[in-house]
Amino acid sequence: MPVIETTLIEGYDAETKTRLMKGMARVVRSVIAAVPEGTITVIREVSPSSYARGGIPRVPGPPLPPAADVVSAFAKALSEGDQGKAAALLTPEFAATDARGASVDLAAMMKSAAGRAYLRFDESVNDEDVLVFAEGTAGAARFIERFTISGRLISAYAIWIAQ
């Protein structure tokens, strides 16, 4: 029965703390064979006046949005034909590939977005980014898309289609 403890500066909302506790528990269970109900997470909070780094008081930084929410907002912008809103969710280094592995631009992605229905989003965290796998349908075809989320923006995209 693992017990996971972390200390935060007061100021994060309940939703952010819940996301953090779930994420910490998932990471531990990916390494240790522990059942979810036997994995305990504890957050200890300290007031900003009781926290300093390098002798300088600090305040909590802003939480990142759920990576799946970034992907959902991007998919919605594509389906609505809002190229500006979609582009605002991309890093300057954004790279996309289609089902054949060829590079595609945002305009091509917008054309192929019509008629897509998403069934689920799954997140996977690595050392630098969060990967979001989106499963869905487009007509009779099924697809899986992989989005790489860097901070608050999408930095890479790939799609695989099963006909």
Is 7 inside a domain boundary?
yes
Select from 9, 7, 6 the least CA-distant residue to 47: 9
Looking at the structure, tell me whether residues 24 and 82 fall in a common domain.
no
Report the SS3 class of residue 2: coil
Residues 152/70, Cβ–Cβ less than 8 Å: yes
Where residue 17 sits, what CATH number does that domain have? Answer: 3.30.429.10
Residues 42 and 99 in one domain: no
* Residue at 119 is within a domain: yes
Residues with Cβ within 8 Å of 80's Cβ and at least 6 positions away in sequence, in order, are: none
Residue 65: closest CA among 133, 154, 161: 154
pLDDT in tens, 47-100: 988 999 999 988 888 999 999 999 999 999 999 999 999 999 999 999 999 888
Q: How many CB atoms lie within 10 A of CB 93?
A: 9
Inter-CA distances, 56 with 18, 46, 52, 53, Å: 28, 15, 5, 5
Domain shared by 98 and 132, yes or no: yes
Count the Cβ atoms, other than its own, within 10 Å of residue 130. Answer: 20
Q: How many Å apart are CA 78 and CA 74, to the nearest integer? A: 6
Name the DSSP letter for residue 60: P
Domain range enclosing 80: 67-162
Per the document, the length of the chain is 163
**11 is written with which tokens?**
């100021």
Convert the pLDDT of each residue in 20-53 to its tens digit.
Answer: 999 999 999 989 999 999 999 999 999 988 999 9
Residue 162's identity, in one-letter code, is A
Same domain, 52 and 77: no
Domain membership of residue 62 (yes or no) is no
For the stretch 106-144, pLDDT in tens is 998 988 888 889 999 999 988 899 999 999 998 888 999
Query: Quick one: 25 and 92 in the same domain?
Result: no
What's the pLDDT at 60?
86
Confidence at residue 127, expressed as pLDDT on a 0 to 100 scale: 86
Q: What is the CATH number of the domain that holds 117?
A: 3.10.450.50
| Whether residue 71 sits in one domain with residue 99 | yes
Indicate whether 11 and 80 sit together in one domain.
Answer: no
Q: Flag whether 51 is in a domain.
A: yes
Determine, yes or no, domain membership for 36. Answer: yes
